[in-house]
Amino acid sequence: MMIYFSSMTGNVRRFVKKTGLPVKEIMPGTIAEEPYILITYTFGFGEVPTPIREFLNSNGHLLRGVAVSGNRNWGANFGMAGDLIAEEFEVPLLHKFELSGTAQDIEQFKREVELLCVTFSLITK
Which residues constitute the domain of residue 37?
Answer: 2-124
User: Percent of the chain having pLDDT more than 70?
Assistant: 95
Grade residue 1 by pLDDT with cuts at 50, 70 and 90. Answer: confident
Helices 11-19 and 103-124 sit at what angle, rounded to 10 degrees? 70
pLDDT score at 105:
94
> Which residues are CB-neighbours of 83 under 8 A, at least 6 positions away?
68, 93
Check whether 123 has a pLDDT greater than 80: no
pLDDT of residue 10: 84
Residue 103 in 3-state DSSP? helix
CA–CA separation, 4 and 72 (whole Å): 23
- pLDDT tens by residue, 63-98: 999 999 988 877 788 889 999 999 999 999 999 988
* Strands 93-98, 36-41: pairing kind: unpaired
pLDDT at 120: 67
Query: Residue 86 is part of a domain; what is its CATH number?
Result: 3.40.50.360
> For the chain, how far is it from start to end, CA to CA, in angstroms?
15
**Amino acid 84: pLDDT:** 96
Confidence of residue 125 (pLDDT cuts 50, 70, 90): very low
pLDDT at res. 124: 45
pLDDT of 16 reads: 92
Q: Structural domain tally of the chain? A: 1
Per-residue model confidence (pLDDT) at position 90: 96
Checking if the pLDDT of 23 tops 90, the result is yes
